[in-house]
Amino acid sequence: MNPKQRVLFLCTGNSARSQMAEAFLRRYGNEYFESYSAGLQPKGIHPLTRQVMQEIGYDLSGQTSKGVQEFLGKIFIHRLITVCDQAEKNCPSAWPGIINKEHWSFEDPAAFEGSDEAKLEKFREIRDQIDQKVRSWVDEQAT
C-alpha cells in the first residue's frame, strides 16, 4: 500500500484560497493525500474565509495561517499547488523533493473591494470555484 502523498497549497497570505483548498482536499482526498497550506507572507485566516466555509459545514478552527518556512526543507512535499499568481511568481524555485508542481489561478477574495455583502459574495464565489477544482483534481488523481 502506498503512503499518502503530501500536498501543499501555497498562496501569498495563507488567509483564504489555500486554506479553503486545504480543507476541501482533507475532505475529498483524505484517503490518498495529506493536505497542508502555507503562505509566502502569512496574514492569519480571514474572518470571511471562516464564515463561508462554516456555511457549508467546514470548521476551520484546527487550521492556522502558516509560513512556507514551516515546510521548506522540513517536510517532504510530493505536490506543490500554488493557488494565486503572486505565489506562482514568487515561489521558491528550488524545493527539495517536490515531485509535481501545479498552478491553479484564483482571484484573491481578500483583495476584493465593495460592500460587506459584495465581499461575502466574492468569498463564496471563490470558495465554490476551489471546491469544484479540488473535487475534479481528486477524481483525476484516482483514475
Active site residue ranges:
11, 84, 91
A 10 A CB-CB count for 48 gives 20
Backbone angles phi, psi at 79, to 5 degrees: -135, 130
Strand order of the β-sheet with 79-82 is 33-39, 5-11, 79-82, 100-103
Handedness of CA 40, 45, 49, 53 (dihedral sign): positive
